[in-house]
Amino acid sequence: MPLKILDYVRPSSLEQAYDLLQEDGAEILGGTTYARLSDRTIKLAIDLQNVGIGAIYEVGDYIVVGAMATLANMQFHDLIMKYADGYLYDVISYIWSVQLRNVATVGGTVVPKWGFSDFITGLLALDTEVEFYKAGKMKLEDYLKGPMIKKDIMTALYIKKTPRKASFKFMRNSEYDFSVVNVAVSAVKDGDKFTDWRVAVGARPGVAALSYKAMEVLNSSVDDEAIEKAAEEMKNELKFASDFRWSGEYRKEVAGALLKRAVKEVIG
Amino acid sequence: MREVKKSIPKKDSYGLIRGLPVYADDLAPKDSLVMKVLRSPHAFARIKDIDTSEAEKMKGVHLVLTYKNVPRRIITRAGQGFPEPSPYDKFILDEYVRYVGDEVAAVVADNERIAEEALKKIKVEYEVLEPVLDFEKAEGHPSIIHPEEESFAQFDIGRDPQKNIAASYQMEIGDVDKLIKECEEDPDCVVIRERFYTQAQAHAMMEPHASYAYIDMSGRLVIVTSTQTPFHVRRQVAMVLDIPIKNIRVIKPRIGGGFGGKQALHGELLVSYAAWKLKKPVKLVYTRKEVFEATYTRHPMRFDVTIGAKNDGTLKVIDFEVLSDTGAYGEHALTVLMVAGSKTLPLYNKVDGVRFKGKVVYTNHVPAGAYRGYGAIQGNFALESAMDILAEKLGMDPVELRLKNVIREGETSEIFKIMGEGREGVEMIIKSCKLEEAINRGVELSGWKKKRGKKEKNGSKVKGMGFAVAMQGSGIANVDMGSAIIKLNDDGSFNLLVGATDLGTGSDTILAQIAAEAIGVSSDDIVVYSSDTDLTPFDVGAYASSTTYVSGNAVKIAGEKMRKLIIKEGAQKLGVSKDEVEFDGKVIKTKDGSKSVTLKDLATVLYYTENQKQLVADGSFVGPESPPPYAAAFAEVEVDTETGKVDVLKYTIVMDIGTPINPNLARIQAEGGVVQGIGMTLFEDVKYSEDGRLLTNTFMYYKVPSRLDVPELVVEFVESYEPTGPFGAKSVGEIGIDTPPAAIANAIYDAVGVRIKSLPITPEKVFFGMNK
Amino acid sequence: MKINLKINGVWKEVEIDPSDYLLDVLRREGYLSVKKGCDTGTCGACTVLRDGYPILSCATLASTCDGHEITTAEGIADEMEDYIKILAEEGAEQCGFCSPALLVMLYALKKEIENGKVKKTKEDIRRYLVGNLCRCTGYVGQERAIFRYLGVE
Ligand SMILES: Cc1cc2nc3c(=O)[nH]c(=O)nc-3n(C[C@H](O)[C@H](O)[C@H](O)COP(=O)(O)OP(=O)(O)OC[C@H]3O[C@@H](n4cnc5c(N)ncnc54)[C@H](O)[C@@H]3O)c2cc1C
Ligand code: FES
Ligand code: FES
């Protein structure tokens, strides 16, 4: 049975939207692509297209991406294309289809913490913060680890323009599919040294998480042995589970291989 | 040949590409009532009680159907010639539900939303029964899936419902056990024994099943439906609803693909009954989920293959033992089983002994039915994988092994006579077979000799080459009948009326080409109308690769008759005997050139002024045999040793399809078939939950190949002419799909030494094959 | 509720239910080139343009399109005459169910190539079209036509 919506509003300010959201049975609409797939009733659907949180711009050291920006808006934005050699452009370009990316929003993708998400994994390897209207700003990893934030509106992503080199790797059987598992890795290039490694693994099939142990290993060395060790540490640290399509054991092994490839790509 | 062997655009391309309303759901009257079906959440259950009163009371609900208020007449939904070789084991609605998705009730309402609301209001109390979900344990399982007394078979198909056996079959040529034993004991011989599994591939045609029915001005029932077999639908609906055939008209509009999935009744019975009762138009359009969960799949099969051969590669004996899962109903159970042998084993016709033995069991899975290459692709995976294993054991190049043993022109196989589809076959000497040429050409095109066995590395990836051959048929000999009517219009154009069913394959177009060639006119002057039981003559429909060969021959006969009529009438008009005139497609003139009349003028005169009459010609054809097309295929793959992922880099297939009537359309049939075969091999995984629910029920999880998954495809046709076919044609619809499973499996083995014997070949299987 | 859509250049007031997806609204209004192939945002048969960009009409709530411009195959077929001819010549529409959406995508793709967002290479073009599934052709014939139409070597 499809989604049922009893009433629809398009408020013109965040404040108004937030107030409406407090009503019983009220929910935010993003691009409405994924909401579609659930069988439930929304009493009041709140469309954010007129509240002015769709823009992408720069503030100080940050690229700010409004929650109502579509994945395609973000993909093709100059700031995104230029940052980290267009790393996020690449991450987004592999998400499903052009037609989906033209509708699916940044907020609709980050807020629900989809486990399968390539986008979240990609962001997690950067210095990313999420901003909510009431709850304010928090690190993406804290948001992902914490409870779902209900009855609040995500307003923007803040991506710090740390001079990072990043690499995103995924494994899919069909190219037009969800990832079996995905890995994003980045590091700050400091002369010929790499520091502040970030290693994110998603679609395990749980939502993306950082492997602190792998990061620690890489922060001390990136020779072949260290890379091998980082992969092993990550495999032990993070949980991999089975779903009806792929086994946890398989995901784990593939994640290890992808991690090594990603690190090697970053160090060039 | 002027009109055939020529690539002309499809007759319907104008409307299709622009998106004109041409499919059933587009054409349904705007005021159609909408039907929705309540489906079983249980794999096996008996309905103890069903209360529809709440639903019936709803405003906008017109009718609620359950097993209590529909006729209880048993049939098979399989779209096959009568008497069908499939068991009669299905009611419109029954008190037993036999798979998750089986029909429990149907609601007819003003619109979809009301119908859906009403479904929620139907209260059903089920007695949940122990389901049979493992087809290897179905035979003799304590749960009997078809306990009903009424079910029966029209003739002996080896059915034993008490043991959950829907059909079984056995044949043997020579003493196979003895031959195997001899091989085993002979140091000059080898024997291999292998077990293979194939999965329940989904057809995944892009248009979901759709039908609507209404009552016409004479009170007759008209059914417009996305079917491959309109005439069978008419007969089946007549039988179940007890309406005379004369009071039913079935129209097949354009349909969005079928691949065998629409060679059956899916929804037609329900909409017909509702429209008949309500005397209002009723439509039923399946959701994609319903298409996955509640139509058809390919029959999953298990094969035990034994092959004995001499050390020099001469095959001595082949033994095939098959177990097939037909799911909840036995549609196409026997035919698909038999084809697993009859369209594979004759490839190696020089053996001393061959045996084929198989059972088809009922389970509580989605019913299996016909699917492009039915039986053949399953059998081909087993046989051609086994041949590769044998080649390795013999230390022979797999190509050499095939060349030594494959069937050649002028030869026969005893199997042709013994095994038909659901019954005996017919004797057949192969009149066209360019398989050897196809193999040799493919060896060149694919770079086989350079590339095989080299394990060329590229980072973590390794390349490999695999090979397989295949055969199909062209219609079902002595069973399939097609017919055609051609009439002349007053501008010299023709209407071609055929019962044949264009599923998007372009058969309307190639039949027009055949008609044009036979009459000697341009295809532009042939207007085709097909698949309307009131207006077009009979045809069994589109399945078993029959249309070009069977319907095509009927069209050719009609066309030749029309040509004779034109010459006769032309001669009369010119006042000479018919031997004195010739017809060049536009003008009928005396051989000395002294007198002439254009076809257009003749046609106008015949309509309005002199010797007035309508020129009409007909033709019917039943294939006295079913000439096989052949294919030789070469897969080049690259396996990522760190992830198990297989990329097919290039797929080369060389085919003998006789004369390609329309080379472009034939090529696309071949390409489309190969890609579906690749899908079955690598992507199209089918998963059930423990309680028998299909989990791969959306395109998100059931992965048909996307355009990024398609390799470089090299398709070539070898020069070939089938003397019994229309202008030398055989069939092309199915042969393309048969080879990828074996060819790719063999290539993976060549690359990384992992032999995957169960489809699909997922990266996970390959990975753990390498890292046990 | 009532919404206003500019469909193929003409403003229309349309009565909808807030739960309606754009696909169903368009079909109800007679734009039957828009097909429902899956309903899960996967097959692409429902593709239309919103404000010039291709979107999945099965995955977009109709209410959110209020005030926007929608283009379907009906609205661009005449402009795409050359492509239609080439696709037909290649015989690359089989059942045709996926064809109107592909037509819409090609129209958008041409614009994206012109404004430099998509590179005119086989790889980029395939990627752009990946969301349009076709079960009949195996894509190869379609792509012969598409590459010929766009002049890609
Ligand atoms: C078929 C399909 C395949 C996909 N495949 C992939 C893939 O391979 N990789 C990948 O990374 N992603 C994939 N996605 C996900 C896609 O990228 C989007 O994440 C998803 O479609 C949701 O986007 P939306 O804007 O439509 O969200 P919606 O469906 O509109 O919303 C989703 C949820 O987020 C809430 N929400 C939306 N915006 C806000 C906000 N600003 N504040 C608070 N709450 C909000 C909504 O209330 C709702 O509960 C896929 C989606 C689909 C439909
Ligand atoms: S119907 Fe929209 S993507 Fe399939
Ligand atoms: S032509 Fe049939 S789905 Fe594409």
- Euclidean distance between the first and final Cα of chain C, in Å? 50
**Of A109, A132, A160, the domain-final residue:** A160
Q: Give dist(CA B274, CA B35) in Å, integer.
A: 9
Which chain C residue's Cα is nearest to A77?
C117
Min Cα separation A63/chain B (Å): 32
**Of A160, A186, A207, the domain-final residue:** A160
What residue spans in chain B does CATH classification 3.30.365.10 cover?
Answer: 135-142+155-197+296-405, 434-468+628-772, 481-622
Q: Which residues of B touch A253 (CB under 8 A)?
A: 767, 771
Tell me: do A231 and A262 sit in the same domain. Answer: yes
Beta-carbon separation of A1 and B689 below 8 A:
no
Q: Indicate which residue's Cα is closest to atom 4 of ligand 3.
A: C134
Beta-carbon separation of A171 and B643 below 8 A:
yes
- CATH number of the domain at A115, please: 3.30.465.10
Q: Any residues with CB less than 8 A from the CB of B89 and at least 6 apart, and which?
A: B74, B76, B146, B148, B151, B161, B166, B329, B330
A174 part of contact set with chain B, CB < 8 Å: yes
Q: Which residues of B touch C40 (CB under 8 A)?
A: 288, 698-700
Beta-carbon separation of B685 and A1 below 8 A:
no
Residue C39, pLDDT score: 81
Q: Indicate which residue's Cα is closest to atom 2 of ligand 3.
A: C95
Query: What does CATH list as the number for C76-150?
Result: 1.10.150.120
Q: pLDDT tens, A161-215?
A: 999 999 999 999 999 999 999 999 999 988 889 999 999 999 999 999 999 999 9
Beta-carbon separation of B698 and C38 below 8 A:
yes
Ramachandran region of residue B741, left (φ > 0), alpha (ψ -120 to 50) or beta? alpha
Beta-carbon separation of B706 and A176 below 8 A:
yes
Which chain C residue's Cα is nearest to B702?
C42
Q: Give dist(CA B207, CA C43) in Å, integer.
A: 11
Name beta bridge partners: B308.
B191, B317
Beta-carbon separation of B20 and C39 below 8 A:
no
Which chain A residue's Cα is nearest to C59?
A33
Strands (E), chain A: 4-9, 26-29, 41-47, 56-59, 62-66, 128-132, 136-139, 154-160, 164-171, 181-190, 193-202, 209-210
Topology of domain B481-622, CATH: Aldehyde Oxidoreductase; domain 4 (3.30.365)
Identify the architecture of domain B27-129+209-285 in CATH. Alpha-Beta Complex (3.90)
Ligand 2 nearest-atom number relative to CA C36? 1
Q: Give dist(CA B507, CA B549) in Å, integer.
A: 11
SS3 B205: coil
SS3 C131: coil
Q: Give dist(CA B725, CA B624) in Å, integer.
A: 11
Residue among C22, C46, C98 whose CB has most ligand 2 atoms within 8 A, to mutate: C46
Beta-carbon separation of B672 and C135 below 8 A:
yes
User: Span B593-619, mean pLDDT?
Assistant: 97
Q: Examine the predicted complex and report whether its ipTM is higher than 0.95.
A: yes
**Of A160, A178, A213, the domain-final residue:** A160
Using only the alpha carbons of chain B, give its radius of gyration.
27
Q: Which residues of A touch C53 (CB under 8 A)?
A: 72, 102
Beta-carbon separation of B207 and C129 below 8 A:
no
Residue B68, pLDDT score: 97
Identify the architecture of domain C2-74 in CATH. Roll (3.10)
Instruction: Kindly tell me if the per-residue pLDDT of C35 is higher than 80.
Output: yes
Residue among C132, C135, C140, C143 whose CB has most ligand 3 atoms within 8 A, to mutate: C135
Q: Count of domains in chain A?
A: 3
Instruction: Kindly tell me if the per-residue pLDDT of C20 is higher than 70.
Output: yes
pTM over 0.90: yes
Residue C151 CB neighbours (<10 A): 7
DSSP 3-state percent helix, strand, coil across chain B (nearest 5): 30, 25, 45
Which chain C residue's Cα is nearest to A3?
C19
Subunits next to A (3 or more Cβ pairs <8 Å) are B, C
Q: pLDDT tens, B687-696?
A: 999 999 999 9
CA C36 – ligand 2 centroid, Å: 6
What is B408-475 written as a DSSP string? -TT-B-HHHHH--SSS-----B-S---HHHHHHHHHHHHTHHHHTT---EETTEEEEEEEEEEE--SS
Residue among C134, C139, C140 whose CB has most ligand 3 atoms within 8 A, to mutate: C134
Residue B293 · residue B367 · CB < 8 Å:
no
With a 6 Å cutoff on the Cβ, whether A75 touches ligand 1 is no
The 3 state secondary structure assigned to C16-79 is CCCCCEHHHHHHHCCCCCCCCCCCCCCCCCCEEEECCEEEEHHHCEHHHHCCCEEECHHHHCCC
The answer to whether residue A51 sits within a structural domain is no
Residue B102, pLDDT score: 98
CA A34 – ligand 1 centroid, Å: 5
Is residue B654 very low, low, confident or very high in pLDDT (cuts 50, 70, 90)?
very high
CA distances from B415 to B187, B380, B429, B683 (A): 29, 16, 11, 33
Question: Which helix (H) or strand (E) is B241 found in, with range?
Answer: helix B230-241
Is residue B544 very low, low, confident or very high in pLDDT (cuts 50, 70, 90)?
confident
Ramachandran region of residue B545, left (φ > 0), alpha (ψ -120 to 50) or beta? left
Residue A3, pLDDT score: 85
Residue B318 · residue B350 · CB < 8 Å:
no
Q: Any residues with CB less than 8 A from the CB of B601 and at least 6 apart, and which?
A: none
A30 part of contact set with chain C, CB < 8 Å: no
Is residue C45 very low, low, confident or very high in pLDDT (cuts 50, 70, 90)?
very high
Q: Give dist(CA B741, CA B388) in Å, integer.
A: 12
Q: Give dist(CA C69, CA C9) in Å, integer.
A: 8
Ligand 3 nearest-atom number relative to CA B256? 2
Q: Which residues of B touch A257 (CB under 8 A)?
A: 460, 642-643
Query: What does CATH list as the number for B434-468+628-772?
Result: 3.30.365.10
Report the residue from A175, A177, A257 with minimal CB separation from B643.
A257
Q: Which residues of C touch A44 (CB under 8 A)?
A: none
Residue B50, pLDDT score: 98
Tell me: do A148 and A177 sit in the same domain. Answer: no
User: Could you give the percent of chain A with pLDDT greater than 90?
Assistant: 94
DSSP for residue B45: E
Tell me: do A24 and A82 sit in the same domain. Answer: no
Q: Give dist(CA C124, CA C113) in Å, integer.
A: 10
Min Cα separation B637/chain A (Å): 14
Min Cα separation A250/chain B (Å): 6
Residue A165 · residue A85 · CB < 8 Å:
yes
Residue A1, pLDDT score: 55
Q: Does CATH number 3.30.365.10 belong to domain B135-142+155-197+296-405?
A: yes
Beta-carbon separation of C95 and B713 below 8 A:
no
Tell me: do A77 and A143 sit in the same domain. Answer: yes
Tell me: do A94 and A170 sit in the same domain. Answer: no
Residue B227 · residue B250 · CB < 8 Å:
yes
Residue A266, pLDDT score: 97
Residue B270, amino acid: L
Beta-carbon separation of B19 and C139 below 8 A:
no
Size of interface B-C (CB pairs under 8 A): 174
Q: pLDDT tens, B458-487?
A: 999 999 999 999 999 999 999 999 999 999
Report the residue from A1, A178, A250 with minimal CB separation from B764.
A250
**pLDDT, chain B, mean:** 97
List of chain A residues with pLDDT < 50: none
Q: pLDDT tens, C84-124?
A: 999 999 999 999 999 999 999 999 999 999 999 999 999 99
Q: pLDDT tens, B358-381?
A: 999 999 999 999 999 999 999 999
What residue spans in chain B does CATH classification 3.90.1170.50 cover?
Answer: 27-129+209-285
Tell me: do A83 and A153 sit in the same domain. Answer: yes
Which chain B residue's Cα is nearest to C123?
B708
Ligand 3 nearest-atom number relative to CA B504? 2
CA A109 – ligand 1 centroid, Å: 4
Report the residue from C40, C60, C117 with minimal CB separation from A32.
C60
Size of interface A-C (CB pairs under 8 A): 80
Name beta bridge partners: B712.
B650
Tell me: do A27 and A75 sit in the same domain. Answer: no
Residue among C25, C40, C72, C104 whose CB has most ligand 2 atoms within 8 A, to mutate: C40
Min Cα separation A105/chain C (Å): 12
Place of tokens 């349309």: C14
Report the residue from A171, A174, A257 with minimal CB separation from B683.
A174
Q: pLDDT tens, B112-161?
A: 999 999 999 999 999 999 999 999 999 999 999 999 999 999 999 999 99
- Among the bound ligands, the one closest to the CA of B258: 3
CA B474 – ligand 3 centroid, Å: 23
Window from A31-40, B565-574, C127-136 with minimum mean pLDDT: A31-40
Q: In chain C, where are the structural domains located?
A: 2-74, 76-150
Tell me: do A83 and A156 sit in the same domain. Answer: yes
User: Greatest CA span in chain C, whole angstroms?
Assistant: 50
Residue B262 · residue B206 · CB < 8 Å:
no
A72 part of contact set with chain C, CB < 8 Å: yes
Tell me: do A8 and A66 sit in the same domain. Answer: no
SS3 B551: helix
Give the range of the structural domain holding residue A126, as residue numbers without chain letter.
56-160
Beta-carbon separation of C138 and B254 below 8 A:
no
Chain centroid to CA B614: 37
DSSP for residue B136: G
Using a 10 angstrom Cβ sphere, with 0-12 exposed, 13-18 middle and 19 or more buried, the burial of residue B624 is exposed
Q: Which residues of C touch B503 (CB under 8 A)?
A: 95
